[in-house]
Structures are given as C-alpha cells and as structure tokens.
Amino acid sequence: MIGTGYVGLVSGVCFADIGNQVICVDKDKNKIDKLNSGISPIYEPGLYELIKKNFTAKRLSFTSNIDRAINTSDIIFICVGTPTKKGSINVDLSFVYKCTKEILKYSKRKKIIVTKSTVPVGTGDEIEKILKKKKKLFTVISNPEFLREGEAIRDFRYPDRIVVGSNEKKPLNIMRKLYAPITNKGSKFFTTSRRGAELIKYASNAFLATKITFINELANLCERSGVNVEDISLGMGSDSRIGGRFLRAGPAYGGSCFPKDTKGLVSVAEKYKINLSVVKSVIKSNQERVNLLTKRVHKILGSNLKNKKISFLGVTFKPNTDDMRDSTSLKMIPYLCKKGAVVNYYDPSGHKKEFKKIKNCFFKRDIKSNCLKADLIILLTEWDEFKSLNFRSITKNKKVKVYDLRNLYNNDEMKKDNLEYYSIGRS
C-alpha cells in the first residue's frame, strides 16, 4: 500500500486481517515511526486493535523504504492523496505520478498496479504512459475506495460493492480472489472498464453531495414555511427510488472527499467540454451554506459579537474521526473570532492545530469547561457523548442559547428546559 493515510492504512490493515502479507509504505517518516512503535497516526474506531493484532502476527509491516516495499510486492495499491490544486478546481495528481515514477524505477518483476486513490477518468492511461519503458512488467487497473471515515473498518469488511475496472481479464480474476473473503459474505463484485471505475467513484460522491445539498436547501424552505425538514426526509426517503440516507439536513458538507471530488468532476468534464451544471450549483450552494449559518448566528446573538462567548461542541466534519479537512468549523470559527467573539471548542478527538493561531479561540478538555458561561452553544458534530446533555447543568448562564446544526435534540424537550433553542429546518 503506497500512502498510509485514511484509505491506505485502513485497507492495508484489513487486507492483512484476511490473511495477506501487507507492507504499508509512506514518505512521511514520522507516520511510519509512530506505526512501528504501536501508535496509530489517525483516529479511526477499532483501527489500533487491528494494527496491533496483524503487526504482532507479522502479516503487516510499515516502512518508508519504497524500494523494498515495491520489490517484495505482487500487487501495489496507490493510496496517496489527490487534493484540489491550489487556486483552481483541478485535481492535483502529482502524488500519484510521483509514486508511479518510483514504481517504474524500482520494479524488477511483474506487478499489478491498482489505483485506490480517487482519480479523474483517464488517469490510468496517463499512469501507463509513465510506465511505458518497462510496460511488459505492469498491468494498471482501477479499484476506487468507498469507505467512510469513522466507519472505515466496517465499510471495508462489508462494502455494498467492490468496483474493479480493468481493460484485461486476468487481473480481474486476481482481484476477485483477493476480495473473495469479503465477497463470500455477500458484497457485490462489480467489474467494468478502467475508465468506468474511475468515473463511478466521482459520480457516486457527486451524487451524495447533491442529496445533502438538496435537503439543506429544502431545510431553508422548511424554516420559512413552518414545516419540519425531518418529516420531509422521512416522507421522501421512504420511497425506495429515493432512499433515506444522505437526506439529513445540517451544515455544509465537508471532509476530505465531497468538496474536492465535486470540483474534480466538474474540472474533468470541462476538459471534455461537458457542462455539469447540476454539480456546479451544488458546489456553489454548499459554499454559500456557511455564510447562511453565520448569518443565523448574528440573528441569534445580534449584529455585535464583541466578547460574546460561543462554545462549539465538535469541530470535525463528522463524528468518530479526527479529520478536519473542509469542516464547516474551519470557516465559522475564524469568522466569529474576527467579529470579536470568544470561541471555546471541545472535540473528543482532541485539540486542532488549525485553530492554534486564531486569537480568542481556545480548546477545552471537557464539555463542562467548554460550555461554562456560554452565551451560545453551537453543536456542530454529532459525537455520541453530546447526545444527551443537560445544558442547564453544564452552563451557569441562565440565558444560554443553543444552536443545533445536526438536529440532535428534541424541540419540545429543549422548550421544557426553558432553553432558547435553534435547529435546522424546523419552524
């Protein structure tokens, strides 16, 4: 596995757990040192235990020596990042191409190269071009990853489908064998062309982002028209053609995938002179959502935020992960601090380097000290430990207001406690 991030590490550990010999390689020596001394560099439920089990059983090893990793492997998974290029919507493929060049340099015998990273349609062809000097040694196929952070191990073991794209038959059979312990439990093994697999991944993420954005916009209408958005989600979602998942209104979608993949898809389409107008408006609507939420904070606390005490419960883009990439908190907190508010935050995954340099922003080690004397508590991430809080006892301010961006709490119960309570898409 080249790249020991959320995808490479989880996939590597899970492949080892079903009996394969796995070497995880990363150019970040610090990550490898941590892993070799038994520390997981990321927070993912259940991951640490699996690392320990498979490392001890000698099925799993970690190295920054890419030469050794490449030479001892039959199948090489590329799991490096594919971020958005700075200042554009294009996909930055430099990490993918750099490790392809390393594979070319160090390979001495036949290998299957599998792109697990999310890459634009046609990237496999570009990888082949880089490898053409030793082209007989390589088969390049695509096997995009669909795991979700926070549920990654379960998703790897019980995926809805495994997508493998190849222009040749033989590597498909090898992949079928590799995934047999998973498909034997009922997961679908779906094969297509290499380009097809590359596009399926972007299409899936763009569609899910569209669903979230759709319900977020409807939530705005619900607030104005006196309707409960949860009823809309249930009523719509019960239609099997629509499905209820990804229809929960909340903050803007974030994380390491949806924001970059929606942009990536639009940029690839533009290369082919195709206008993906739906996806474009999803991106725009999502960007505007953060402004809408901060405007709401002004409505709740007034236009002058100077010295107002605002406490965030959760700052990661979703629970059970430490990932901060494109979280709504990255825009809301700096804005509120700039307006003079004093912002405390508590997140079960710990303090965040992203807020270190922001004046008036403080990490608190527990819920109580975070919320003490707050004027406004903003629930941003629905971690389990926030699910049954007694706001009256955690803050000494009788006039505390609560803004629940995940509709975690019940309107009537909050009213019973005499709390000024705001949520999403409820009248």
Ligand X SMILES: NC(=O)c1ccc[n+]([C@@H]2O[C@H](COP(=O)([O-])OP(=O)(O)OC[C@H]3O[C@@H](n4cnc5c(N)ncnc54)[C@H](O)[C@@H]3O)[C@@H](O)[C@H]2O)c1
Residue ranges in contact with ligand X by CB under 6 A = 2-8, 25-28, 31, 66, 79-82, 95, 98-99, 117-118, 145, 147, 149, 256-257
Residue 307 CB, nearest approach to ligand X (Å): 38
Residue 276 CB, nearest approach to ligand X (Å): 18
Among residues 24, 222, 257, 371, the one annotated as catalytic is: 257
Instruction: Considering the complex, state which of residue 279 and residue 343 has its C-beta at the smaller distance from ligand X.
Output: 279
Residue 261 CB, nearest approach to ligand X (Å): 7
Q: What is the spatial distance between Cα 302 and Cα 71, in angstroms, rounded to a whole number?
A: 63
Q: What is the spatial distance between Cα 379 and Cα 297, in angstroms, rounded to a whole number?
A: 12
Buried b (16+ CB within 10 A) or exposed e, 155-181: bbeebeebbbbbbeeebbebbeebbee
Instruction: Considering the complex, state which of residue 149 and residue 404 has its C-beta at the smaller distance from ligand X.
Output: 149
Q: What is the spatial distance between Cα 134 and Cα 126, in angstroms, rounded to a whole number?
A: 14
Instruction: Considering the complex, state which of residue 28 and residue 366 has its C-beta at the smaller distance from ligand X.
Output: 28
Residue 295 CB, nearest approach to ligand X (Å): 30
Backbone phi, psi, residue 412, to 5°: -65, -40
Instruction: Considering the complex, state which of residue 63 and residue 395 has its C-beta at the smaller distance from ligand X.
Output: 63
Q: What is the spatial distance between Cα 20 and Cα 13, in angstroms, rounded to a whole number?
A: 9
What is the amino acid identity at position 173?
N
User: In this chain, which residue has its C-beta nearest to ligand X?
Assistant: 5
Q: What is the spatial distance between Cα 47 and Cα 62, in angstroms, rounded to a whole number?
A: 15
Instruction: Considering the complex, state which of residue 147 and residue 378 has its C-beta at the smaller distance from ligand X.
Output: 147
Instruction: Considering the complex, state which of residue 1 and residue 377 has its C-beta at the smaller distance from ligand X.
Output: 1
Residue 156 CB, nearest approach to ligand X (Å): 10
Q: What is the spatial distance between Cα 248 and Cα 230, in angstroms, rounded to a whole number?
A: 7
Q: Taking a C-beta distance cutoff of 8 angstroms, is the pair 149, 231 a contact? A: no
99 is catalytic: no
Residue 267 CB, nearest approach to ligand X (Å): 14
Q: What is the spatial distance between Cα 335 and Cα 274, in angstroms, rounded to a whole number?
A: 36
Of all helices (H) and strands (E), which one includes residue 313? Answer: strand 309-313
Q: What is the spatial distance between Cα 159 and Cα 188, in angstroms, rounded to a whole number?
A: 8
Residue 406 CB, nearest approach to ligand X (Å): 19
CA distances from 126 to 50, 122, 135 (A): 35, 7, 13
Q: Taking a C-beta distance cutoff of 8 angstroms, is the pair 417, 410 a contact? A: no
Residue 152 CB, nearest approach to ligand X (Å): 7
Q: Return the biggest CA–CA distance within the chain.
A: 73
Q: Taking a C-beta distance cutoff of 8 angstroms, is the pair 402, 379 a contact? A: yes
Instruction: Considering the complex, state which of residue 149 and residue 198 has its C-beta at the smaller distance from ligand X.
Output: 149
Q: Tokens for 137?
A: 């040694």
HEC per residue, 349-399: CCCCHHHCCCCCEEECCCHHHHHCCCCEEEECCCCHHHCCCCHHHHCCCCC
Instruction: Considering the complex, state which of residue 28 and residue 420 has its C-beta at the smaller distance from ligand X.
Output: 28
Q: Which of 276, 4, 235 is nearest to 120 (CA)?
A: 276
Give catalytic residue positions: 257
